Structure 1
Amino acid sequence: MLLAFCLTLIAGAATSVGAALGLLGRGTGGRFLAGGLGLSAGVMLYVSFVELLPEGIRILSGGEEATAAGTAAAVGAFFGGIALIAILDRLVPQPVNPHEFSGRMGSRPGRGVHRHGGALAAGIEQSAQDAADAALRARLLRTGAVTAAALALHNVPEGFATFVVALQDPAIAIPVVAAITLHNIPEGLAVAIPVRRATGSRRQAFWWATLSGLAEPVGAVIGFLLLGPLLDGPGMGAVLAGVAGVMVFVSLDELLPAAEETGEHHTVIYSLIGGMALMAATLLVL
């Protein structure tokens, strides 16, 4: 159990990596994001359909060959996991959704006042620019705060998913943790960059992003306390199938669209296939 929690903590701490990259002005290139997100999606999709869902079916079928009842229960849990994460996703307004940040990172204050001769005109323009800057900083601070809260909401089920996979099989959990780690790096960017621009403080931006990522180990603890009794017997099968649903939704609704927004389509596809191949090789070796 300690290993499962540590792996979940590592995945959540990846938001700190994203924050550091953003504050250093690195890691925000389109190809870097496209490759990381595509690789993460490939790993999560492959492990969901090839390992977690079949394992859920096996457990719910009594540990033997798949039965109609066991398959039906696992399929229901799979779509239940999708429904859960979809509802959480819909609770976050799109303008501040942590997975819809690509168009907000380069925003600059508008310049609505034209230059005119004379000190009075220059003073008026400067005042207007100061007001615009102040308004932008206020908007960016609000965006960073709401994004951090939204990330925390999103990361609770992700943390529990990572924790459950690690409890079931730590060998499978390692590539899953790597995938979620890659997934969390741009989330750290989404929090840190607007907070940095709003406050001028690298330290505040870094810690806001870090705290949002810590929702993953918190989600693992909350999920275990609430669902711990279900993690034995058939309950584990339902949880694994539900976790597969969560991962599939995250991959298709968040990772791949965000990766495509970078404009690096072929990088996304090659990375997606590479992630699947990596997961397949890991399962064969382990």
Structure 2
Amino acid sequence: MVSDDPNVGLAIGLTTAAGFATVIGGGLACLCDPDNHSLLAGCLAMAAGVMVYVSFIEIFPEATNLFHESGTFNSDHAFMMTTLVYFVGNGLCLVADVLTQLWMSRKKSKASENRE
């Protein structure tokens, strides 16, 4: 299905540029010194920052608008629900991170016990 919208070309161009940026970033990660953990950590932090920026600038207002358009919430309550869902999502990510760290530390300790 082809759209007659004049922004289709821009959307395809931006998507292609994002794909190339991913390929270039992956290639640079392979070319870097594997012992230089600070470079990889910095690149990952920058990528995370871009994702958070996109979330706040584009997705957050759109989510607020969709909550409002549902008819269940007025504009103030829609903003509060969007904020609540955002922080609940952050909390779930934190729980997942803690559980992953616990799981990996137990796995590592079991592996060291099996070696002995």
TM-score by length of 2: 0.51
Of the three residues 83, 104, 113, the one matched with 1:96 is: 104
1:104-127 deviation digits (Å, cap 9, x = unpaired): xxxxxxxxxxxxxxxxxxxxxxxx
Q: Percent identity?
A: 29
Gapped regions of structure 1 (runs ≥ 5): 1-9, 11-16, 98-137, 143-286
The ranges of structure 1 where at least 4 consecutive aligned residues each deviate by more than 4 angstroms after the TM superposition are none
> Of 55, 76, 86, which aligns to 2:62?
55
2:82 to 74, 77, 81: 74
- The letter of the residue matching 2:54 is V
Counterpart residue number, 1:170: none
Aligned CA RMSD, in angstroms, stands at 3.9
Structure 2 CA distance for partners of 1:92 and 1:31, relative to 1, 3 Å: closer
Deviation at 1:89, TM superposition (A): 1.9
Question: Which aligned pairs between 1:1-286 and structure 2 lie closer than 5 A?
Answer: 21=30, 26-62=33-69, 67-93=75-101, 96=104, 138-139=111-112
1:25 and 1:68 mapped to 2: Cα distance? 48
Residue 80 of structure 1 deviates from its aligned partner by: 1.5
TM-score, structure 1 normalization: 0.23
Change (3 A) 1:61 1:28: farther
Question: Structure 2: how far apart are the matches of 1:57 and 1:49?
Answer: 11
State how far apart, in whole Å, the 2-side matches of 1:71 and 1:54 are: 8
Greater length-normalized contact order (CA 8 Å, ≥ 6 residues apart): 1
Aligned length: 82
Instruction: Kindly provide the amino acid, as one letter, of the partner of residue 51 in structure 1.
Output: E
The code of the aligned residue for 2:100 comes to V
Task: Could you tell me which runs of 5 or more consecutive residues in structure 2 were left unpaired when the two chains were aligned.
Answer: 1-18, 20-25, 106-110
2:6 is aligned to: none
The letter of the residue matching 1:62 is E
